[in-house]
Amino acid sequence: MKYLLSIILIVSIPFVTNAQDKAEEISPQLIEANANDITSEYNKKLFLTGVQLPLFKKKVSEFLYKAEGIKNSLSGKEKLDALYLLQTEEAKYMQDILTQTQYRQYLKLRSNIQPLERS
Domain residue extents for the chain: 2-113
Give the three-class secondary structure for 13. helix
pLDDT at 81 over 60: yes
Cβ 52 vs Cβ 93: under 8 Å: no
Cβ 87 vs Cβ 110: under 8 Å: yes
CA distance 101 to 99: 5
- In tens, the pLDDT along 31-72 reads 999 999 999 999 999 999 999 999 999 999 999 999 999 999
Cβ 52 vs Cβ 105: under 8 Å: no
